[in-house]
Structure 1
Amino acid sequence: MNVAPKDKNAWLWIPFLYFTQGIPYILVVTVSVIIYKRLGIGNAEIGLYTSWLYLPWVIKPLWSPLVDLNGTKRKWFLGMQLLISFAFLGIGLFLASNSFFIITLAFFWMAAFASATNDIASDGYYMIGLTQKKQSFFIGLRSTFYRLAMVTGQGLLVIFAGFLENQYGDNTKAWSVTMITASVLMIGLTVANFLSAPKFEASTPTSSEKPAGFFQVFAIFFKKHQIGVALLFILTYRLGESQLVKMASPFLLDELEVGGLAYSTEAVGTIYGTVGVIMLSLGGILGGILISRDGLKKWMLPMLLSLNLPNALYAILAISQTTSIYAVVGTVVLEQFGYGFGFAAFLMYLIYVAEGASKTSHYAIATGFMALGMMLPGMLSGYIQEWLGYDGFFIWVVVAALPAFLVLRYLKYPADYGKKTVESNE
């Protein structure tokens, strides 16, 4: 079987692949929060049960060697994308049932496991299909389309649901139609990936392409240089954001009497789906270009700052409780740009940690720890918010960012890693 050369058609398949990767993630971990909020579930329950949905991303390293050992990455991600489509259809069809919370959570779990497996295969495909210098160059494009997908889910689909809420006067029916629409979108994206993704792997991988063995994959990973410090950094990089992301939408949606800003579903979707998408794209693309030009070391601290400093603006909104559209949009502009810009460094560092044999599995292990760093704080976020109120909660979110800066002082990695002048090792 003929296989495509590295870097082939990267401008075509990277946007489709990472847009498809982002859609199920944002629907499972963030839009599920909005759905349950609009259907009357409390903040504590939302924070607890939707944070458990991070678990598949945490434990995905347990089956990542199976993706390496069996079949091609392309076959894996196409199969998982199709399964996600059916899971979203199930959510749409069962939202109107009496036991909707339990049943839809089960479908969200199905989508979460399929999405985590899709991530393993997609990220492995990215590393196999590109040389190292192209990996750093395209990290911004990859991150941008992933974030575009998240804004599409958190923005456009939420706007659509808000419009249907007003049309139907029935939140359940509105979200049912929205999730069925999401299923159709996933099917279309699966077809687009089938048509655009080159075949970089042979159907039967050679022995040199396979991991040494299931358990040896883990042993090699945990023997990497400075792995303890690296994992601590991965766990704390998004410690503040992991809590903010769960409570940001409830904050905008909640009534003024309980400390919220009383925005409509449609307004929240519009804010994220317009200015949010533009600033997120600019931040992600700029981050990738700068790392490709100067290397990771120069931009790690500025990007970590850009990821966390905008969180203070949520605290200001909560303390002042201003409903000014300019203040809210301004907060989202800076947050989304900072997120896109700051996340580029994080992704590049994860690729660095995964370097070497079994990089697909090792990247899955690294991102599993990343997901753990999102899941555990997120599980407590609703309880912390109810205890401290929105103003105290967002102040706490700002403080929670500090550990990552302390760990960064001890982190060691090549200063020019990802720089475009560095020749590929592959």
Structure 2
Amino acid sequence: MNKNRRNSVLSSPYVWTFTTYFAEGFPYTVIRTLSSLFLRDMNVRLESIGLTSLFGLPWILKFLWGPQVDRFSTKRTWMLTCQFLLVGMMLLTAAFAPFSWGVSAIVLLFFAGSFIAATHDTAIDGFYMEALDSEGQAKFVGYRVMAYRIAMMTGTGVVATIGTTLGWPLAFACAALMMGLVFVYHFFFLIRVEQQGRPANELVKSALRLKNLALVTGAALLVLGLRAFLASRPYALIREQYPVLQKISFPHWVGLFLLLSLISLLVLRKRIWARIAGKPDTFYARAFITFTDREKIGTIFAVIILMRTGEFLLTAMVSPFFVDVGIKVHYGWLSSVVGLPLSIAGALVGGFCISTFSLKKVIWPFLLLQNLTNLVYMVLALHLAPFVAINTGAAVAQPVGALNLFWVAVVHGFDQFSGGLGTAVLMTFLMRICAKEFKAAHYAIGTGLMNVSGLFAGILSGFLAGWLGYGYFFGISFLLSVPGMIAVLFLPADIYVEPSKPAPKN
């Protein structure tokens, strides 16, 4: 009895939701953040460290192989396999760290590990949607956010501190130990809820076919070629002639390509369906086509792309605003002491409210609350405009005073809490638009589409803030968030329907 009770507790979603999303955030932090710190500590040139941005490519492109995670084996197996490989990567990194030649080997390990970690993320998101019903997905969305943030703090705090004080071999060994403990827990206690997909050995055979090798090689060369072109001298000259291009990064180009590809599929979907109907080897194509083959897909696209417009615009200019107002020395505690706890609290409250009152009842109020932050920042920026005028570019900033700093902390706290509510709504919405057969792929596609919103925010934010000033820019950013809130009102009813409940009749 006690053993069964212990196993029941260890297999509870309160436990595995935390551990899976800790396991998602921790490798990302090691590969994307700690890699730069480690390389600089090893006296690697800044120009070379800049190339570590390539480590982020798999997270941008993971929608390309997301369908394979749905098709073969189970998400649980994918997850465990990736975790085992990531533990091995961290152990090898610890073994190579003491040697001068080890730096180059570690860079290659991180690059390979980034593909494993991005695939791992896709498997975890898919498993979460398989293991929980819609109510559970909303209920635990706050735990996801909390676990991910704690994983990032563990990486940037604990592991980074060990590396810079006691040495990087020990730091990476500790990282491997933490990841290994999570792997062992998942291996023995993570629940089994999925139907078995096609055998994994078929994936290997499929990958080794000449046609598929050619397609993968061609896609890889295309991606690397685009990345190289964006970093080339000719493109730099083009950007000098057209300054707007300086705001468009590689992720934005990928997001735009994904949007145009999905629109093309939407236009041609009937013709494509006619060609692939009944063919057993068209799973990959169907994963993308089914994403577009639904009621009011234009509205769904609009919501995905526009939902975070206000947030992206605000986020792009908050840090420069803090610098120009003269409070950059306070940014650390504002983010860690005020912002982090309230963002987690917002996600937890948001998940609870969605599971209690339904997504339909809270989606619009939560988005409105999130976007009202922009108006609150507008009032703060107009109030602090004299300090912006004095401290912008000043060698020594004039203090803003304790009372003004208090109001900054209040506004930032409200921003982070309401942002947590918005994160809960966004994650739940993306999970609701995923078809049962393609959960991992559709979630990856949805997150990829959000890069389009970041594209427009990146282009507009600097120009608008420089032209209007921070105060009026924050006000305009609220107005630009309104189309997304309006689009939410026209979402199809089936997005709000629980799978176990009948759809409402019109």
Shift of 1:158: 3.8
Number of the residue aligned with 1:280: 343
Of the three residues 283, 302, 308, the one matched with 2:365 is 302
Number of the residue aligned with 1:5: none
Compare CA radii of gyration and give the structure with the larger one.
Answer: 2
**Does residue 1:137 correspond to 2:136, yes or no?**
yes
SS at match of 1:337: helix
Shift of 1:76: 0.6
Of the three residues 169, 186, 193, the one matched with 2:186 is 193
**Does residue 1:152 correspond to 2:232, yes or no?**
no
The superposition leaves residues 30-74 of structure 1 with CA deviations (integer Å, 9 ceiling, x where unpaired) of: 777888999999x9999x978766543332221112112211111
The runs of 5 or more residues in structure 2 that have no matched partner are 1-10, 200-279, 389-399
**Does residue 1:232 correspond to 2:308, yes or no?**
no
TM-score (norm 1): 0.70
**Does residue 1:61 correspond to 2:63, yes or no?**
yes
Distance 1:227 1:251 in 2: 37
Number of the residue aligned with 1:344: 424
Alpha-carbon spacing, 1:276–1:201, altered in 2? closer, same or farther (3 Å): same
**Does residue 1:15 correspond to 2:15, yes or no?**
no
Distance 2:401 2:316 in 1: 20
The superposition leaves residues 344-397 of structure 1 with CA deviations (integer Å, 9 ceiling, x where unpaired) of: 1111211221135433322222222235545x468x58x9769968x9579757
Number of the residue aligned with 2:491: 413
Q: What residue identity is the alignment partner of 1:355?
A: A
Which is worse superposed, 117-126 or 82-91?
82-91
Q: Is the 8 A contact 2:18 2:143 kept in 1?
A: yes
Shift of 1:94: 8.4
Alpha-carbon spacing, 1:126–1:294, altered in 2? closer, same or farther (3 Å): same
The superposition leaves residues 273-321 of structure 1 with CA deviations (integer Å, 9 ceiling, x where unpaired) of: 5554542333222212222232222212222233344456677478547
The superposition leaves residues 224-271 of structure 1 with CA deviations (integer Å, 9 ceiling, x where unpaired) of: 22223322321232335446667767887xxx68956125xxx82x65
Which is worse superposed, 304-313 or 412-421?
412-421
SS at match of 2:116: helix
Q: Is the 8 A contact 2:338 2:413 kept in 1?
A: yes
Q: Is the 8 A contact 2:139 2:355 kept in 1?
A: no
Number of the residue aligned with 1:333: 413
Q: Is the 8 A contact 2:24 2:121 kept in 1?
A: yes
Number of the residue aligned with 2:329: 262
TM-score (norm 2): 0.60
User: What is the RMSD computed on CA atoms of the aligned residues?
Assistant: 5.1
Shift of 1:180: 5.8
Number of the residue aligned with 1:361: 441
Percent of pairs identical after alignment? 26
Q: Is the 8 A contact 2:321 2:470 kept in 1?
A: no
Alpha-carbon spacing, 1:222–1:30, altered in 2? closer, same or farther (3 Å): farther
Q: Is the 8 A contact 2:300 2:491 kept in 1?
A: no
Distance 1:98 1:399 in 2: 52
Distance 2:478 2:176 in 1: 36
Distance 2:63 2:81 in 1: 19
Q: Which structure shows the higher helix fraction?
A: 2
The runs of 5 or more residues in structure 1 that have no matched partner are 1-7
Alpha-carbon spacing, 1:331–1:118, altered in 2? closer, same or farther (3 Å): farther
Q: What residue identity is the alignment partner of 2:296?
A: Q
Distance 1:227 1:418 in 2: 15
Q: What residue identity is the alignment partner of 1:285?
A: L
Number of the residue aligned with 1:4: none
The superposition leaves residues 140-162 of structure 1 with CA deviations (integer Å, 9 ceiling, x where unpaired) of: 42x32332234324545444478
Q: Is the 8 A contact 2:139 2:354 kept in 1?
A: no
Distance 2:292 2:81 in 1: 30
Q: What residue identity is the alignment partner of 2:74?
A: T
Q: What residue identity is the alignment partner of 1:409?
A: I
| Pairs within 5 Å for 1:242-261 | 242=312, 261=328
- Bigger RCO of structures 1 and 2 (CA < 8 A, at least 6 apart): 1
Q: What residue identity is the alignment partner of 2:142?
A: T
Q: Is the 8 A contact 1:284 1:340 kept in 2?
A: yes
Alpha-carbon spacing, 1:291–1:36, altered in 2? closer, same or farther (3 Å): farther
